[in-house]
């Protein structure tokens, strides 16, 4: 089956829904999403949106904090755009129905690690869920936006699917849609469009322990790379320092805001330790805190550290963090007002992704990207807390007029595409063997490409992931697709991109720390790591 729309949006998080809502005034919009329309990394975001909303804050301070956290390779132009346009985008979000926590008639502004002022706009400790609700309600009122749930993108449609026998120069590559697997009908359809927006989120499921939902398998990065787009900075994987120990998959997140509220990190013997790593102690940026916890655990042979809130007023803790409090109490039998929380780091956010300019353009014509799947240059070597939702809001908006104009200038009809060839057969017994590769990749990445790396570990990871990738690719070419196979293929490719990028960066900077190159090397590596 072939579907035709003016705009195709892949992903239904904050970037995808914001973009779809505004693009609906220019034409018909299809939004495809892997599971339920509300299932996304946005929905799991607890902390909030960082924005300058107070007279005691300033754009310059927010820019400075972001650049300092990015450790030299953030793009200043992108950072300044995000910071200066952020408050306007946030007010728009409020105007479409997002309800944020108030205090004395104004926004209750929290504070998180790396920020020099209170600027975190939040909805209690479930900010992402509230934003997702408001955007879904707003999109539902637009008649020319159609959401396709339980649809998994397989491949982007480019000239390779039209001009089978002609070599395509890289600067002529253009995207006209995507092949999409309908999981309910068990078939692959073609979605054709004049512009395609990738908003597929992150790749946390590449790792064994992650805060990301099961759908965060790096699909957008993998598809864009296979289509010929440039990918950048995949070595910078942010590990959230405080997830609840032994809480399953995905790991239950204990928000950065808990430390911003006054929570203190301690060893199991009750001793504070962050003062040995940074003057800001428990309010240091995430890369420093995650590294410190990892180092202490390895030094002591222990499985977790403690996040202590017992010195804070119990009623205020319950009032500020109702979701965290109730989940810890009811599901894990931990009263966070009376006992310390056992926490460990887990993979949380990808600072790299599909390389875009400040208007969301990728290196492939007609293909745009926003949100965690993209690399705008804002985050550099490490993301400042709560800048992710802000980045998604600002740069999905900036892509609207540019992609609308791109659509308007496309005079020729959409090209005919090849039918999807699913003549292969599914060998159930072989699939059982191949499916174990997902766990193997996650274990390899956790063991060898985690918070601290080395050349030897990366080389070992590269060999093992290459072997798995070859097995998966061979199986993919011989069989009918399934959603599990699509995800496994993308996880394998993203793991390879992360490893290759990490091997290229022979220094330690931000989220990439290696025991073989312990210092920053600005003479050679004050730049992005680009793959294509």
Q: Cite the active site residues.
A: 286
Question: Looking up tokens 């006992």, which residue turns up?
Answer: 339
Q: 225: Cβ–Cβ under 8 A, 6 or more apart, which residues?
A: 231, 493, 497, 531, 532
Q: With the CA atoms of 315, 47, 147 and 194 taken in that order, what torsion angle do they form, in degrees rounded to the nearest 10?
A: 160
Q: 373: Cβ–Cβ under 8 A, 6 or more apart, which residues?
A: 11, 198, 199, 200, 201, 202, 220, 221, 224, 353, 354
| 261: phi then psi, degrees, rounded to nearest 5 | -80, -15
In this structure, are residues 49 and 120 in contact, taking their beta carbons and an 8 Å threshold? Answer: yes
145 exposure class (CB count in 10 Å sphere: 0-12, 13-18, 19+): buried
Q: Which residue(s) pair with 142 in the sheet?
A: none
Length in residues, the chain: 532
Q: With the CA atoms of 314, 318, 324 and 328 taken in that order, what torsion angle do they form, in degrees rounded to the nearest 10?
A: 60
In this structure, are residues 210 and 347 in contact, taking their beta carbons and an 8 Å threshold? Answer: yes
C-alpha distances in angstroms, 392 versus 22, 369, 459, 518? 14, 10, 34, 32
Burial 422-460 (b: 16+ CB within 10 A, else e): eeeeeeeeebeebeebbeebbebbbebbbbbbeeebbeb
| Closest C-alpha among 415, 406, 396 to residue 366 | 406
Strands (E), 351-395: 353-355, 367-369, 374-375
| Closest C-alpha among 379, 412, 374, 381 to residue 395 | 374
How far is the C-alpha of 404 from the C-alpha of 407, rounded, in Å?
Answer: 5
C-alpha distances in angstroms, 79 versus 48, 242, 296? 18, 26, 33
Q: Which residue(s) pair with 187 in the sheet?
A: 182
| Closest C-alpha among 277, 326, 348, 334 to residue 306 | 334
Give 264's Cβ-side CA count (13 Å radius): 13
Two tokens at 459? 């080389």
How far is the C-alpha of 391 from the C-alpha of 49, rounded, in Å?
Answer: 9
Do strands 145-148 and 29-32 pair parallel, antiparallel, or not at all (unpaired)? parallel
271 exposure class (CB count in 10 Å sphere: 0-12, 13-18, 19+): exposed
């Amino acid at each position: 089956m072939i579907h035709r729309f003016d705009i195709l949006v892949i992903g239904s998080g904050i970037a995808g829904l914001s973009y779809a809502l505004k693009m609906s005034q220019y034409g018909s919009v299809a939004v495809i999403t892997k599971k339920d329309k509300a299932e996304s990394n946005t929905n799991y975001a607890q902390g909030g949106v960082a924005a300058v909303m107070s007279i005691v804050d300033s754009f310059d301070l927010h820019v400075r904090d972001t650049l300092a956290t990015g450790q030299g390779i953030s793009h200043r132009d992108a950072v300044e755009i995000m910071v200066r346009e952020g408050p306007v985008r946030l007010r728009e979000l409020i105007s479409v129905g997002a309800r944020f926590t108030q205090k004395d008639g104004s926004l209750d502004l929290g504070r998180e690690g790396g920020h020099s002022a209170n600027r975190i706009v939040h909805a209690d400790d479930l900010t992402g869920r509230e934003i997702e609700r408001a955007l879904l309600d707003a999109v539902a009122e637009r008649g020319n936006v159609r959401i396709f749930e339980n649809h998994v993108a397989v491949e982007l449609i480019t000239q390779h699917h039209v001009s089978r026998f002609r070599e395509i120069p890289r600067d002529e590559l253009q995207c006209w849609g995507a092949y999409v697997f309908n999981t309910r009908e068990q078939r692959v359809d073609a979605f054709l469009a004049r512009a395609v927006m990738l908003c597929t989120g992150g790749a946390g499921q590449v790792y064994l322990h992650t805060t990301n939902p099961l759908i965060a398998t790096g699909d957008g990065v993998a598809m864009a790379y296979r289509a010929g787009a440039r990918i950048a900075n995949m070595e910078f994987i942010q590990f959230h320092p405080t997830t609840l120990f032994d809480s399953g998959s995905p790991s239950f997140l204990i928000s950065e805001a808990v430390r911003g509220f006054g929570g203190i990190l301690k060893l199991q013997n009750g001793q504070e330790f962050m003062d040995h790593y940074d003057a800001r102690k428990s309010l240091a940026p995430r890369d420093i805190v995650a590294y410190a916890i990892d180092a202490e655990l390895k030094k002591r042979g222990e499985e977790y550290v403690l996040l202590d809130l017992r010195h804070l007023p119990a009623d205020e803790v319950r009032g500020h963090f109702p979701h965290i409090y109730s989940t810890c109490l009811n599901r894990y039998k931990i009263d966070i007002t009376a006992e310390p929380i056992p926490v460990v780091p887990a993979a949380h956010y990808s600072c790299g992704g599909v390389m875009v300019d400040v208007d969301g353009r990728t290196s492939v014509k007609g293909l745009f990207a926003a949100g965690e799947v993209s690399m705008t240059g804002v985050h550099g070597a490490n993301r400042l807390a709560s800048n992710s939702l802000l980045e998604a809001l600002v740069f999905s908006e900036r892509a609207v007029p540019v992609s609308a104009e791109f659509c308007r200038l496309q005079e020729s009809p959409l090209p005919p595409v090849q039918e999807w060839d699913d003549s292969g057969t599914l060998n159930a017994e072989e699939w059982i063997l191949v499916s174990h590769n997902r766990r193997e990749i996650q274990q390899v990445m956790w063991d060898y490409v985690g918070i601290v790396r080395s050349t030897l570990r990366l080389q070992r990871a590269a060999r093992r992931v290459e072997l798995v990738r070859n097995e998966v690719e061979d199986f993919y070419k011989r069989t009918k697709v399934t959603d599990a196979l699509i995800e496994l293929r993308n996880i394998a490719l993203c793991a390879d991109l992360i490893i290759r990028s990490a091997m290229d960066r022979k220094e330690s900077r931000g989220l990439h720390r290696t025991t073989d190159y312990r210092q920053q090397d600005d003479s050679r590596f004050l730049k992005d790591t680009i793959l294509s």
